[in-house]
Amino acid sequence: MRHHRIKICSLTMFGLLAVLSRADETVVNSVHDLSARGPGPVRAIYENEICIFCHTPHNGAPQTPLWNRENPRTHYRIYRSSTTDARIDQPTGPSKMCLSCHDGSMALGNVLSRPLTHPIMMTARTIPPGTADLSNDLSDDHPIGFRYDRALSNADPQIRPPEVISSKLPLGTHQEMHCTTCHDPHNNERGDFLRISDQMSTMCITCHDMKGWSHASHATSGKRTTGRTVDPVERLKYATVADNGCINCHKIHSAPERERLLRFRREEDGCLNCHSGTIANFNIASEIRKRSSHDPTRRTRVHDPVENALTMRRHSECADCHNPHAAAPNPIGLVRGTLGSLVKGPNLRVSGITISGRDINHINYTYEMCLKCHADGVARPRLTTSRQVSQTNTRLEFQTSNPSFHPIAGPRRNTDVVSLLSPLRVGSVITCTDCHNSDTARAFGGSGPNGPHGSIFEPLLVRNYDTDDFNTESAQAYALCYGCHSRDSILGDESFSRHRRHIVDIRTPCSACHDAHGIYRGQGNSVNHGSLINFDMSIVQSADTPAGRRIAYEDTGRLAGNCTLTCHGFTHVTIPYSNAGPRKSALKSGKIYRGGRR
């Protein structure tokens, strides 16, 4: 008999050791252990039972498993978002059981197996304020109380079908999402009672199918987050960007910005928290402080992922141009217009507007991203130059059926353009960022980030472009133009026989005659508006002619044309030019006037 007692005792001890060795896999010694021996600051004063705080074998609520608490009767403020397709209702079932403690409204020691007059005495009456106290406001927490079914995944392409979800994340009886889908209240092996790991976004991407995430910078970067100014409520859990994954930007509970559970109230702060020289390779925060910039801090809390480009208020948020779930590195160094406008890593899977004006979810060309703000919408920027033909819709200006245009949306076959620098040639396609970019962009020989975040040259130009009248010609004055067009060719009069006369001698800027984007076919024609001719009306005025006051340019053939206008006190009346003796032809016509007199 004694032998058996020793054996039983040893077996009991062995079992106890086994339990202790795997204590984090049970409620014992976890923060859910509210007994007097529990490890947390909130615990019973005298009660040594562990399970009693949630379960009882007798006199429990008619709710499995043997529930020992009243469920709260609270009406909760629930999660709402412009991008969710789920119908989110009040929490039910297991979620209500969790909230009986975690909404902070009910005394922790009030259990059904004890009279209300004799509750379990606790070190704190209710759950203390903090991340575990969800309160009655669940709008800043991951949504619960919705059906996760095939209808939802069909409506939302970023949600995986329920049949492929891991069985380790159980849904409710009717396919509802509950607290217990992500959390196992009896197992704290992974911390926060998570059912599966959240490292490298494992838990999140089990349900969320973010296209492009597997190759995205935020999913693969080994950059350490130690230099990041994280929000004061909840520090990042892991050491690198890749390990933190989704939680770099999102908080599952008590998110400061409720919609989409962002860590920061101002959307741009979530980006600049890393992209300010602390974590990411380039300091975007310094770029947006330049003289001309797409500064997201100017208008905050305006952007919405489902906004209508036609009616949205004017703003420039990081997420207008970058999809943080798909953005990848841009390996492009020094280039000049050789890759056209195909979308590149930082702008992958961004929405846009096609050249025909159609909304698309994922752009194919960089200019389609730009057209969201610079095309048909009411918020597009206004002109700073008064033009003969006025147009602010760049989608119309870049139409390939226009009389003339810079080749953004397609090639231009104009043999009059003889000044292009190699590798550019007639028929090349360029991109918006060949002109609008950072003045320190790597793509143009600098050491800074590529992209139109900020520049010292207005309007967001990669190089200087003077538009003032009587400006002294130099390589720097028209550096933007000379980046693609040979200065020697321009000043050598290869395309226009009086380029040097106008630019150097009379000191007329390029912009006096040329409109950089293009002239829409509905406002001009190839005879009057070829070669991007669209006069600056602050420099060029109408001329008195026998037919009345006129301002006009007429294309009369290859490298030939005539002008009728007044500029710098000179009146031109159908003054012709060509590469074959333009000066002689002009003098012979006898129709050049100075100061309005012959």
Read off the pLDDT of residues 529-568 as tens digits, 9 standing for 90 and up: 999 999 999 999 999 988 899 999 999 999 999 999 999 9
Render the burial of 83-114: b for 16+ CB within 10 Å, e for the rest. ebebebeebbbbbbbbbbbbbbbbbbbbbbbb
User: Residue 453 in contact with residue 287, Cβ under 8 Å?
Assistant: yes
Q: Residue 459's Cα: distance from chain center in Å?
A: 21
- What pLDDT is recorded for position 202? 97
- Find all residues with CB under 8 Å of 486, minimum gap 6, and list them: 419, 420, 421
- The structure tokens listed for 522 are 């509905």
- What pLDDT is recorded for position 1? 41
- What pLDDT is recorded for position 232? 52
Residue 292 backbone dihedrals phi, psi, to 5 degrees: -125, 130
- What pLDDT is recorded for position 588? 40
The CA distance from 125 to 119, in Å, is 10
* Bridge partner residues of 360 (DSSP): 352
The CA distance from 570 to 508, in Å, is 12
Mean pLDDT value of segment 158-183: 95
Decide which of 165 and 385 is more confident: 165
Q: For all residues of the chain together, what is the average pLDDT?
A: 89
User: Residue 404 in contact with residue 523, Cβ under 8 Å?
Assistant: no
pLDDT digits (tens, 9 = 90+) for 307-323: 999 999 999 999 999 99
β pairing state of 518-519 and 548-550: unpaired
The CA distance from 52 to 122, in Å, is 13
Q: In 3-state terms, what secondary structure has residue 94? A: helix
Mean pLDDT value of segment 214-228: 89
* Bridge partner residues of 553 (DSSP): 563
| DSSP state letter for 4 | H
Q: Count the neighbouring beta carbons within 10 Å of the beta carbon of residue 177.
A: 23
- Find all residues with CB under 8 Å of 191, minimum gap 6, and list them: none
Domain ranges of the chain: 399-594
Q: What is the CA radius of gyration of the chain?
A: 34
pLDDT digits (tens, 9 = 90+) for 62-84: 887 899 999 999 999 999 999 99
Indicate whether 585 pLDDT > 60.
no
- The structure tokens listed for 515 are 């409109």
Indicate whether 200 pLDDT > 50.
yes
Indicate whether 165 pLDDT > 50.
yes
pLDDT digits (tens, 9 = 90+) for 317-343: 999 999 999 999 876 655 555 556 788
pTM of the model: 0.88
Indicate whether 594 pLDDT > 60.
no
The CA distance from 209 to 213, in Å, is 8
The CA distance from 244 to 299, in Å, is 29
The CA distance from 152 to 149, in Å, is 5
Residue 402 backbone dihedrals phi, psi, to 5 degrees: -70, 160
- What pLDDT is recorded for position 130? 86
3-state SS, 291-357, equals CEECCCCCCCCCCCCCCCCCCCCCCCCHHHHCCCCCCCCCCCCCCCCCCCCECCHHHCCCCEECCCC
